[in-house]
Amino acid sequence: MTSGLRKSINIILLGGLAMANHALADTVTANSSLNVPVTQSCPTSFFDVSLMTNARQCQQFDEGMPASLVYFTKYAPEEVIAFYQNAYPQFVRKPAVNQRTMLAATDDSVRIVVSPDNMGTQVDVLIISKP
């Protein structure tokens, strides 16, 4: 298993756990020295990729490349997909697998994974290389 695939799997698993705890603040990142959540506001964009205006419970996993951020929105999955397809026409929609839809930049520099959640949608933003 490649390190990128392993990292993507870990991101999806960790993101699901973070979404299950609705008591978290807007943004959660890990303080590596203490392994304690650090609260921040969700950014408006991540490596030049926009987040939806009501993004919450953001969790950034890496600052260097490849980088990833997971967030939750109350919008339905189809609304999130439409948002990204309108904002980034170069993103190609892949067939859904286990109710997860991936949008990928034509140069594969960015991947957006959209997953239904009980009260909205989880969005995983994966930056493979600078878009």
Full-model pTM: 0.69
pLDDT digits 0-9 by tens, 21-31:
333 334 444 55
Q: What is the pLDDT along the chain (131 residues), one digit of tens a residue?
A: 555 555 555 455 444 433 433 333 344 445 555 555 444 578 898 888 999 988 998 888 876 789 999 999 999 999 999 999 999 999 999 999 999 999 999 999 999 999 999 889 999 999 998 76
- Whether 22 and 53 have beta carbons less than 8 Å apart is answered as no
> What single-letter DSSP state applies at residue 97?
B
Tally of structural domains, the chain? 1
Q: Is the dihedral of CA 3, 128, 41, 9 positive or negative?
A: negative
Tell me the residue range of the domain where 36 lies. Answer: 3-127
SS3 of residue 57 by DSSP = strand
Rounded to a whole number of angstroms, the distance between the first and last alpha carbons of the chain is 25
